C-alpha cells in the first residue's frame, strides 16, 4: 500500500490493538504501538514495532507521534491533555477519533448529557449525585434498584454498583470510592428493565459517511460481554416487531456516532425492553467486543474498517455474508480450578477444533487470570439455531438462559 497511508500508531497493545495490527498488515500498512509490554504485548507480538511505555505517559505518546502520521487507540482511558498537547506540537499528525471526542466519551455522565443535547437518542433517566441524600432522592423518584456509575475509568462493569434499596446506598457509594470529599465522581441511572442488550458497530469514513454493521444481541456475564449473536431476534417477546426494533437500533447507533466528531469505528451499546423500546447505554470510540463476529461474518470486518476509516480510505461493506453468527469470549477461570485459570479456555478451544464453522482468535497474553479476556471463538452458520447449537457445544452448560 502507498507509503502515504502509514505508519499507523496505536495507543494500547492489547487484543484490540493486535487485531487492528493484523488488519492493517493485510492492507500493507505498517503499525507502531505503545504499551508497557512493548513487543511482548498482544499487539507488539504482531507488529514488532513498539514504544515501551504507558499510553498515559506524555513522553511515550511523543515518541509514538514522532514515528507516525496517524494515531488511533484501542482504549478510551487515555491522557487527553497529553494527546491535545501532542496534536498542537505536531500539526501534521492526525489523531482519530480526535481528543475532543475522547473527552466527551471518557466521562460517562458527560457522554449522556451530550447525547441528550443533540436529540434523537433515547436515554433512560440519569442524574449526577454527590452523596447519600442525592442517591436517596433518585430512589424516591425512580424506585429501586438503581445503578450507580463512576463517571470515569469504568470497564467490564468495574465502576458500577447496583443499589438494591435505601439501606444499600452507603455501601454502594463506598464500593465506588464515592460519597466523601475528594472521592470518585459518580452519577445515578434509573434501572432499565431490559429484555436483552443489543449493540451496533458503526464506522465513519473521512468524508463523513456512516456505515452500520448488523445489530447483535449481546449477553453479559458478571457485567462482561460473554456471547454475541447475529441476527439478534431469537426468542423475542410476544408482540415485538423485530424489523422496527432493528431499524431503530441502527438509527439510534448512527445518531450517536453522528454526534461525535472523528473517523473510525464506534461500538454503541443499547438496551431493548420487553415492549421493544430501544434505549442508549454507552458508546466506545473504538473497535468493540460486540464487533468481533465481523471477522468471520461480514464482508469487511470492524478492524479493517477502522484502519481504512482513520487512514482516509474508502470503507468496506459491513454486510453480513453468512446466515448467522455468534461469538464466544474465552476468559480465564478460577486459579484453583484443575488445570489452573487457563483450563477454562482450553475446553471450548478443543471443542472448536472439532466444529466445521468455528474459528479461534487467540490474543497471546502471557498468562490467564480470572475474568481476563484471553481470546474468542467465532462461529458461523445458516441460521441462529445453527450457531446457538454450536455455542452450546463450545460452552457446555454455562450459556446464559438469555439465549
Ligand atoms: P464496558 O466494559 O462495556 O465498557 P462498563 O463498565 O462501562 O462496560 P456499562 O456498560 O455501563 O459498564 O454497564 C455494564 C452492564 O451493566 C450493562 O451491559 C448492563 O448489563 C448493566 N447495566 C448498565 N446500566 C444499567 C441500567 N441503567 N439498568 C440496568 N442494567 C444496567
Ligand atoms: Mg464502558
Ligand atoms: Mg458497557
Return the pLDDT at 1: 66
Distance between CA 166 and CA 316 in Å, rounded?
A: 51
Quickly list DSSP for 26-46: HTT--EEEEETTGGGSTTHHH
From the alpha carbon of 284, which atom of ligand 1 is closest? 4
Q: Which atom of ligand 1 is nearest to the CA of 218?
A: 18
- Cα–Cα distance, 179 to 128 (Å, whole number): 12
Q: Distance, CA 368 to ligand 2 centroid (Å)?
A: 22
pLDDT at 181: 81
Task: Kindly list the averaged pLDDT for each block of 10 residues, start to end, along the chain of length 403.
Answer: 79 98 96 97 97 91 93 94 90 94 96 97 97 97 98 92 96 92 92 98 97 97 92 95 98 98 98 98 98 98 98 97 98 91 93 97 96 97 96 75 53
Q: Residue 230 and residue 219: Cα distance in Å, rounded?
A: 12
Q: In the prediction, which pLDDT does 223 show?
A: 85
Q: What is the pLDDT of residue 180?
A: 80
pLDDT of residue 398: 60
Tracing cell 502515504 back to the chain, one arrives at: 4
- Measured from the CA of 124, which atom of ligand 1 is nearest? 27
**Do residues 12 and 43 touch, judged by C-beta distance below 8 A?**
yes
Q: Report whether residue 281 contacts ligand 1, using a CB cutoff of 6 Å.
A: yes
Nearest CA to ligand 1 atom 15: 223
Residue 10 confidence (pLDDT): 97
Ligand 1 center–CA 168 separation, angstroms: 19
Q: Write out the three cell numbers for 129.
A: 449525585
Q: What is the ipTM of this complex?
A: 0.99
Q: Pick the residue whose CA is nearest to atom 17 on ligand 1.
A: 223
For the Cβ of 125 lying below 6 angstroms from any atom of ligand 1, the answer is no
Q: Is 147 in the pocket of ligand 1 (CB under 6 A)?
A: yes
What does pTM read for this prediction? 0.96
Where b means 16+ CB within 10 Å and e means fewer, 354-382 reads ebebbeebebebeebeebebbbbbbbbbe
Amino acid at each position: 500500500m502507498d507509503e502515504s497511508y502509514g505508519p499507523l500508531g496505536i495507543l494500547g497493545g492489547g487484543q484490540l490493538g493486535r487485531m487492528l495490527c493484523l488488519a492493517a498488515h493485510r492492507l500493507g500498512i505498517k503499525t507502531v504501538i505503545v504499551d508497557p509490554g512493548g513487543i511482548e504485548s498482544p499487539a507488539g507480538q504482531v507488529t514488532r514495532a513498539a514504544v515501551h511505555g504507558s499510553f498515559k505517559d506524555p513522553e511515550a505518546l511523543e515518541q509514538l507521534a514522532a514515528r507516525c502520521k496517524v494515531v488511533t487507540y484501542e482504549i478510551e482511558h487515555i491522557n487527553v491533555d497529553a494527546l491535545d498537547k501532542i496534536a498542537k506540537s505536531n500539526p501534521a499528525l492526525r489523531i482519530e477519533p480526535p481528543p475532543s471526542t475522547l473527552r466527551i466519551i471518557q466521562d460517562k455522565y458527560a457522554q449522556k448529557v451530550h447525547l441528550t443535547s443533540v436529540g434523537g437518542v433515547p436515554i433512560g433517566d440519569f442524574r449526577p449525585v454527590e452523596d447519600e441524600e442525592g442517591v436517596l432522592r433518585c430512589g424516591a423518584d425512580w424506585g429501586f434498584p438503581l445503578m450507580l456509575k463512576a463517571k470515569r475509568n469504568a470497564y467490564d462493569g468495574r465502576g458500577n454498583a447496583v443499589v438494591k434499596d435505601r439501606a444499600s446506598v452507603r455501601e454502594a457509594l463506598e464500593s465506588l470510592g464515592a460519597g466523601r470529599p475528594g472521592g470518585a465522581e459518580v452519577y445515578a441511572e434509573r434501572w432499565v428493565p431490559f429484555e436483552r442488550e443489543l449493540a451496533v458497530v458503526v464506522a465513519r469514513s473521512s468524508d463523513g459517511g456512516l456505515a452500520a454493521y448488523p445489530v447483535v444481541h449481546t449477553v453479559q456475564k458478571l457485567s462482561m460481554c460473554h456471547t454475541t449473536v447475529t441476527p439478534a431476534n431469537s426468542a423475542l417477546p410476544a408482540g415485538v416487531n423485530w424489523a422496527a426494533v432493528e431499524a431503530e437500533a441502527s438509527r439510534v447507533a448512527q445518531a450517536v456516532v453522528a454526534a461525535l466528531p472523528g473517523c473510525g469505528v464506534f461500538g454503541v451499546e443499547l438496551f431493548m425492553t420487553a415492549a421493544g423500546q430501544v434505549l442508549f447505554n454507552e458508546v466506545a470510540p473504538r473497535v468493540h467486543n460486540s464487533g468481533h463476529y465481523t471477522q468471520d461474518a461480514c464482508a469487511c470486518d470492524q478492524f479493517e474498517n477502522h484502519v481504512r476509516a482513520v487512514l482516509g480510505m474508502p470503507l468496506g461493506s459491513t454486510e453480513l455474508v453468512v446466515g448467522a453468527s455468534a461469538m464466544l469470549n474465552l476468559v480465564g477461570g478460577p486459579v484453583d480450578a484443575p488445570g489452573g485459570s487457563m483450563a477454562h479456555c482450553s475446553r471450548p478451544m478443543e471443542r472448536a477444533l472439532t466444529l466445521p464453522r468455528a474459528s479461534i482468535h487467540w490474543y497471546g497474553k502471557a498468562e490467564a487470570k480470572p475474568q481476563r479476556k484471553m481470546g474468542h471463538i467465532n462461529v458461523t452458520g445458516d441460521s441462529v439455531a445453527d450457531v446457538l447449537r454450536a455455542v452450546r457445544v463450545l460452552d457446555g452448560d454455562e450459556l446464559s438462559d438469555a439465549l
